[in-house]
Structure 1
Amino acid sequence: MADEGTLEALGRNLAFAFEPLVDRLSDGNLEGFFSELGLAPPAAVANAQPVGNAAATIAGAISAMPSAIAALEAAVQSEDAGQIASAGADLLRAVLDAVRGITDLGNAVDQAAGGLSAAERAAVQAFAAELPGRIFDYVIIEFIRRAHSGSLDVLRLIGLVDDQVTLPADSAPLARPARQRRLSPERLLTMLTDPEQYLRDLFQWGEAGFDGSRIFPRIQTLLENYDTPTVLLTEPGSPPVLEAFIARLQADNGNPPGLNIRLRVPAIADFERQYRISSTISFLMSTSARFDAGMGITLRPPLDVSLEPISGDATLDLLAGLEIGREDGAMEIIGQTGGSGLFLESFSGSFGVSGSWSVGSGPQIEPAIRAALNGGRLKIDFSEADGFLKTIAGGVQIDSEFNSGLSWTPSNGVSFEGSSAIEVAIPLHQTLGPLNLQTLYLIGGIGSGGSVTLEMSSGFSVELGPLQAVVDRFGAQVELTFPSDGEGNLGKADLGFKLKLPTAVGMSIDAGAVRGGGFLSIDQDRGEYAGILELSILELVSVTAIAVISTKLPDGEDGFAFVAIISVEFNPGIQLGFGFTLVGVGGIVGLNREADMEAIAQGATSGSVDSVLFPKDVIANAPKIINDIRTFFPPDQGTFLIGPMMKFGWGTPTLISLSVGVIIEIPGAIGIVGKLTIAIPDERVPLIIINVAVLGEIDFDKKHLWFLAVLYESRVIFMPLQGGMGVYASWGSNSQFIISVGGFHPRYDVPVLPFGDIPRLAINILDTPVAKVRVLCYFAVTSNTVQFGARAELYFGISIAKIEGHIAFDALFQFSPFYFVITISASLSVKLFGAGLFSVRFRGELEGPTPWHIEGTGSISVLFWDVDVDFSHTWGEDEDTRLPPISVMPMLVEEFSKDENWTAELANANQLLVTLRPVDATTELVLHPIGSLRITQRAVPLELTLDKIGSQRPDDANRFSVDAVSAGVEKRATVKEQFAIGQFQDLGDGDRLSASDYEQEEAGLDLSVTGNQTATSYATKRVVRYETIIIDSALRQVFLFFEAFTNLFLHLLLGNSAARNVLSAQTQAHKHLYDEKIKVDPNAFVVVNLADNTAVADAPVSFASRAQAREYMAEQGPAFAKQAHIVRPHEMREAA
């Protein structure tokens, strides 16, 4: 039997919805039905003949619906248009009779109240006025309950259905306690347009009176319907509390009040589940969370979410929503059985939050809302049309698929995704000489701003001797827009025509000596042109060219961005001696583009460098190469790229090849891109293949350099190789040095590196579905640590049994003060039919020295018996291994006595208006009249409490400062230098691992003369007099035109020599585009509350270094340290 069409489905659901009224309106049940709706009708009303007749009319019309639906289904199956129309009319007549009967029933009840008392008559007439609406609400709600009971629970929760027992007033005659079930569709518009007002009206959310009493019963009903035990506690004088199995909900006492949710169970695993509410509706819930039991979630109006974990860190990703769709295929929204129609696989809507909480960063919460139409399809089949349409349409079938989605987050706002266009492709296969017309495209769609576009284009190919070309979608485009000012060439609309450039052009040539092809992509919406050309000349020289031009910049500015990569490869290579050959040369050039080395590094493991350095098979891989170049070299106005590339080889055939390119960014950094390939014994059939992507960057503005080498697509025979090596060094205010092969120790807090994570060095000795053997290792060195470790993993398994095991160790050594920790672990387990048969596990940790401490755990499991042994032991004396104390003052005196620590400085030397003669070379310091004398040292930080000097304790003082005391000399500024704070202060384990290698601390001062530096002791006074001669003629002439051109003359003065001088106010103003300026302090730190990252009351605004901030926290006492922590200013949260 064919699937049910839209018309049949509509009729069947109408009959199903009205069906309960047949029983409820029968003679014996009418009085009970009225009581259920809220009225105890007197006998004069319930037994009135007009009331009975109206009820019988409704029941008769409903009873006629099934036969009309059966006739309609039979007519549709027989495809008899006349019978379809007749059966459809009968069904429509029955529905209208039922609706008209419900209205007549209300009128009959109103008329039957004429003989009642005044009070009873008023009550019955009021009930009669609402009776049709209450019956229709009853019909719809009962339909939802019977067909989609789970949907009704959700509608109750969100307030579109009210379901509650109402108690009448004592003075209300004939009124009965009734279960009021009413639809509130008018709330839907408010929910979509103003969610905040919707929650306020429904639940008092955001008002001072919110206590949960309006929302808790709805949540309780929903949970109980899904067999979740709940208790609603309503004690007098206290706000209600909803106690559920896993959570406790209660309104808090904030302003305005919010909602507290306390989770009673810990989160140790991910959860994803689909609850089938009905045959077409599912409730989806997925969570990914990690937190201890007792975590609290606080919701505050309008949608502010915060986490309050009891201890440790917490992460929470929660997504909940509804999906509407059939399990056995797409839903038919509008259509005819077996024919054309609009179909949809599923519709989904969801709400979720992503949050985290840690001691260092505090709460991070963001809600999200998503909706999507999936698997949309519009089908129009002209093969079933009449003869006329068949003739003009030529059997064309329109079958367009679409997907559409909407998402919202506070950080990104509302975004749309998907497609909404109809595309018809008509095969032509017509040949006109060298031109072969292949396809005719008719494409219509809705663009941005509500514009309607219609495209008529074609795809064709041309063959001219050895040259072949293919062009796709070349033609014309019509666009209908609606200008905001309402002035278009068609009234309020505007119709425009334009040439539709081809989306792609491909060419190939085979002329014997020259072979190759090219590819050109045109994306008008993006404003981008991309092309690739590959030619082989006499099979000796291969030329490859790749170019991308963007005419629409991301920020909307006018301009363009261009990048091109050109390479030439030689076969065979040019001999250089000692077995080395020059295999290829090339280069890269870019205008208004930058090199994103971090993006190239992130794609290193997938072979991103292959798209830049001498790419292979460029025509076949054109989409990937162009997308990579678009990502690696994004537009950047005012930036120029240039870089040479070379490719070398060694051996015959080539066993080792090295490709390297240097990308110079002006202005900007210098990037290095390389690729090393080792293929043994032959690159065509290698037993050993090693590919290493080498990336690096030197950035003098950011004051850092880094290099990254990553293995990819490498193997030894059949064993894959993975891993990477990274080097990072920075100088300036945040000096660091890091080198790592395979990553870092698990307990080491890795700083943010520009090249991301470094993969472990790994080799897969076996990698099959039934057997896996893998070995991993790493080694790292930082300024204060050495780290190394290894791990071996084993797996053998089939469907009924498996063996798993591992052995690993990790070691971390700290230089100053000396400390180490070594962790060893091993395990082996045997499982049969998924149940544990035997397992042994061990984990131990040794740290020291003085005292030594070892702890660990071991366990053995055999079937259902487990034996666990934990151990912890400390031995050895806590010996004082420190060196004898040291006197710090003599060190400072010695440092300040060194000549190299005294320098003459001149601030703003490029802004001086006076030029002095060159000074002869001399060993003495020469100080400029407005310069300063800088005295500094790098041995001891000043204005900082010193716990130690290296490994020795100070014995004379622990805090030092320097100032000017001589007459006529004063301190102008403080000089700062880089110091390793771990050498001067006692830091905890966490501080030692996470602190910067160097911090800026006070180290000296700048001295200059007291008072005004530009004052002089001698001055020469001169009196200058001018002789004035007046020449006057007998007749005074007045030049009237001079007055007329005064304004023009003043305007021209703006371009004279004085105005264009570099010292003029006009020139200086042009250098500053904005009056407002932002000053960034790269070394500032702030002390904030641990709970919410807000500023601590009465604390200084900021500190120049982390060490000074730690001193402040130590001065406040141990209790303060548990309530506050140190962060950068951008991490601080503004108080509400």
Structure 2
Amino acid sequence: MAEKSLIEVISAAFADAMRSALDGTNPALPPLSPPDAAGARAAIEQLADRAGGVTDAADPVAWMQALESWRDTASDVADRAFAGPNPAEQAFVRFLTERMPRTAAFLALTGVISHTPDGLARVDRQKLRALVTDPGTVVNEGLWDALLADVGLPGTGRLPAVIVGLLLLAPQTVLALTRGDLRVAGLSAPPTAQPGPWRVFREATEGWISITVPIGDPADPQPNPRDMFDWAADLTPDLSGTLAIRSQRHDLGGGKRRTVFEMWLALAAEEDRWQYDFGSGWYLRVEPGLTGGFGYDGSWHGAFRQFALDPARLPGPGDPVEVTFGRELDAGAPDIAFGPPYDTRLVIRDLGLFLRLREDHPVVEVGLFLHGLSAVLTNRWFRTFGVTDTVFRDGIRLDLDLDLAYVEGRGVVLGLSSGLDVTLGIDAEFGKNAPVGFKLHSIRIHVPVRATEDSFDVRAEVRFHISTHLGPVSLVADGLGGWVGYWSEDDTRKYVGLLPPTGAGLEISAGPFTGGGYLDFTGGPNERFGGVIHVKVGTFEVTAFGLHELTGEPGAANRPTSVIVVLGVRFSPGIPLGFGFEISGFGGLVGINRRADTDALREQLTSGAAGNVLFAEDPIRNAPRLLDDLDHLFPRNAGTHVFGPTIQISWLNIAGHKVFRFDVGLFFEFPGPRRIVLLGSARAQLPPLAGGPHLIDIRFDIVGFVDFPKRILEVDATLINSSVMEIFHLTGDLAFRIAWGDHPYLLLSFGGFHPRFTPLPAQFPELARLALTVKPGKLPGGVFFRAEAYLAITSNTVQFGGQVELGYKAGPLNLIGFLALDALIQFTPFHFEVTISAGVRLRWKSTNLAGVRLEGTLSGPGPFTVSGKACFEILWFDICADVRIQLGSSGQPAAPPVSSVVQALRPQLTEPANLTALDGDDNEAIQARRPAAAGDHPLVSPLGGLSWAQKRTPLGLTLDRFDGVPLAAPQRVVVESPRAAGPVQDWFAPGSYANLTEAERLNRPAFSRLDAGIRIGLGAPGASTAIRRDVTVVEIRLPNPPSTGALAIAFAAVTLRAALERTAPSQVRTTAPAFGVREERFAVRDRGGAVLAEDLSVSEAHQRARRAGGVAAAKRDLVDLGAI
């Protein structure tokens, strides 16, 4: 291959740089806005031919003509690719930044290349000429003055920050260093008017060689300089690191010399606490500041020192400088969280690394801290394995705090505190109808662990909640137990011990009268005390219970007291409401310095805690559980208060037995109210026959929230200990969500969703199917039965299905047969899919030995398709056969492909139903709308806006099909408006518009929220012409009013403040949320990792990646493996 000439090499490099600039493949450089991108690309392709013409010129005249043609083509590239007054200079600068970044950075430091405020580059030809003829003057004097002028400081005529540039331009300095006779003149540092250690440091290092590097302002939206231009333009001496070096040569005689060398590094120049944010809450913090150095004067020496500016905190030799890497999130969120906060989860509250440096010993400490690790397996998780709701009602919890460090002079230092906590619900009663009886309610197992580098303690604690009755007297005790292990107390090693009770109660039943109480005297650092009082006379019943605790951390001063009290009154007959309904009870809840924990309410929903707080059955014997539930659902929180009423409504009273009963409480959280909490428990009980169990016993516990800042209503419900005729056991969950914010949606589910549907963006717990099972022992030996179903409704779909299982177990061998149905109906565009499956499996324990599985799917319309699959299973192998039948296509011509989706959607622009009014609330006026007449246009407030949305196809998505018909070529529809204020999203099934493989259908969500329209803003409302009005003030002086001392007592300050708050406008309307959450966006990258497109939905990202041969990944999930 012939060797290329210099002009051909330069042309090829220039062409590659221009292509990179037009494609925007270099993320470190700003994108271009070329006047004529197509023309620029065509001119780039001609450069190689023009360069070849210069190389192949036969004579000087031809060479000059060819060179002129090459120059004209290069100028044409610049004119078409760059806007502005001097495209040639901009092309030259872009070429250097793309292909010769170090040269471009040096020219920027010396001022040859500069940028205007509008981003245009220019070349200073005079400085370029001076750089070639007298580089020392330009480097040493010109640049340092320019940099200091940017921050308003006088120049010095010296440049210690680019001493490396001097070495490059003046290589004789390297020879002088080698010879050992280099003399460095004193270089005075930039002066500062601020007193303190920083000025002392600068003055002490005057005459040293110093290099200052800007660190970047953490408060800046983009603190990291993208390239050397930003480093030069954004130098901020207040946030910088300075390296100071000095060296002297001493003649020791006899031809020997010694070099005295010293180097110091100062960080966080003008700050007592410097912090650099990496994003997502991660930070690197230096506090109070650090100077460190080392030297050699015949032996090595070094030290670290604090660098504090506050005169009140003069550092001593033992005061450390701490460098911490950790994470801080808003609203006290944990650093690491896996799983939702109301379900099985792993949480780390505080995680980080630290480095401590001192001038005195220990000089170095390095380690890590892990505080508040909590691994929780909730009751909901155990329920999926068939465990009853009451066994692990509080789940299993593991807590851990760990501090691990290496300390100079001591070695490894360890601090460990851990604990495993589990409560087993036993509810085993002996002698229930006998004169003397005993009941074991629950067993709590707690395993605390603590360790240091010198000791290790562990023990297992077992505490019991028990009750016993002796005739009419019942006794209750909680917390009584013992421990065994290896434990140190007061420098004494113990191996076994007793645990005293933490609560005790007494109840007496004498005919129509029942009464008693329970006292919780746990005490401890939070001074927890509580109690329960229960009195029943005939059909009139009163129950009250409450807790007292201190808020804040133990040991803190002035800890506010928190109190929560619940009062309930039940009576029969109730207050009639009509149609057989009656109010059979009421009460209320008051919590001072308490809040409603929505996550705990969801977590404890399946355990029945919500219903227990509303209506406690047998409140004295169950008092420990009742108080624990109350404390867990409404934890202490200073400054927050909870109030609300409770009521019981019953229906159909049969022989004094309430068949249907609904207990509900509505609680308001103040100040605000910012949240409304609904707790409910609905029960249906048919009275037993001949003293047996209830024929029907169904209980639905309900938890709901209205969150005003989030603008969302959430309701969750679950079946608790429900049965029919003591034969069938009922389980299942219900959930309802409605949001009216920026992303409105409505979802209702009984028992979950279709297997291919993901209910984003709503936060749904894992819903259990509505299931019916036969209790053990009710069927012949070895036979088991289960039936389950679900129904879900969204704004655009209806989903339902179910499954029936029947099997037989003979030891480890079991035979199972099933029949299942899953149906999904989409309204716009109309589409349905029904899947029926059946099969029989022979298993050894959980391993398939053999089986047969049949599956059929009917989908339509356009046309109707029936697909079937039959599989024969042997161990781990499947032998399958497929069949697919299309109905309705014979004799019917295929629908013609749509040539333009835009034209097909044009009628949607004039469809009145697609246009709705948004917002428009006025805090200063009450709006009253007149009744709308037929044909009236939508009424829009001047403070609001419009929303246009259609449901035929998603916008911004690359479409392969439209209305079920394949397109002749992929198309994408984008709707724009000069007044566009953002997109409007709705649910779509991407598989209805894109050609997906089977693997893609399984791995991608069946439904996604995609753009359906746009929001249209109306701009600022216009103002009318001001009208002048003369106002006359008439002053009337009244005599002194009589004394109102009695009224002052009656209307205390707290009463007046409460009345004022009731009449004042709600704060919720004017309080902005602290942070927002949005759906994750995706980017498309080529095989080399370059970004081809970004800020896309997951569906559009996969569509573009398929056509570009790239990959789709979340914007923040890129992992750089370049160094591996």
TM-score (norm. length: structure 1): 0.43
Q: Rg bigger for which structure? A: 1
TM-score (norm. length: structure 2): 0.43
